[in-house]
Structure 1
């Protein structure tokens, strides 16, 4: 299945000018628990999806109270810098929507 089928929210945003944060909030605690138990969203899978080295992932945290996964990465280009195309980081979550998940 795809992540978009089991998540109620998939979003990205700035976490300062040099970092992006991705949030995946699941529809229910049962699904979240399965994803967490199998580590279906992992640093390795995220890096493969985005084509970045694991050293660019600062945090990948499963947050139980919100039934969510939060991922913070180094921005490839600082917000507002020459050549940067998404100042707010709000369009970077699109690849996550199609991420294949096995739980």
Structure 2
């Protein structure tokens, strides 16, 4: 089973304004990028399941020159709201690390 952590040398999450969170997945090289950058596993359904985001508001951008993808989603409540658990979204990426990319 290949996971995000296996194929990425760096994964981070951060605010993309008060209403959005973004993830950057930097693949270890062009081979890993080519194989997994458009994987349906890393799509809106995953972000909905892990973070409760509206799948219609999930965006994914490939950046081939950096062997990375950016996945952004609209927060379910604004940054700093009463239910906020991670003000800067800096720890959100952890849930992605163990996501299996290959079928079992």
Residue by residue over 1:30-50, the C-alpha shift from the partner in whole angstroms, topping out at 9 and shown as x without a partner, is 111011354452233333343
Q: Deviations over 1:77-103 (max 9, x none)?
A: 211111211111101111101111128
Residue 80 of structure 2 is aligned to residue 85 of structure 1: no
- Equivalent residue of 2:22, what SS? strand
TM-score w.r.t. structure 1 length?
0.86
CA distance, structure 1, for counterparts of residue 19 and residue 46 of structure 2? 22
Stretches of structure 1 that go unaligned for 5 or more consecutive residues are none
1:25 corresponding residue in structure 2: 26
Moved more, 1-10 or 41-50: 41-50
Provide the aligned length of Structure 1 versus Structure 2: 102
1:22, 1:38 → 2: CA distance?
15
1:95 paired to 2:70: no
Q: Alignment RMSD, CA only?
A: 1.8
Partner-residue secondary structure (3-state), 1:33? helix
Which consecutive unaligned segments of at least 5 residues does structure 2 have? none
Residues 53-72 of structure 1: matches in 2 within 5 Å? Answer: 53-57=54-58, 59-72=59-72
TM-score, length-scaled by structure 2: 0.85
Which residue pairs with 2:73 in the alignment? Answer: 73
Match of 1:43 in 2: 44
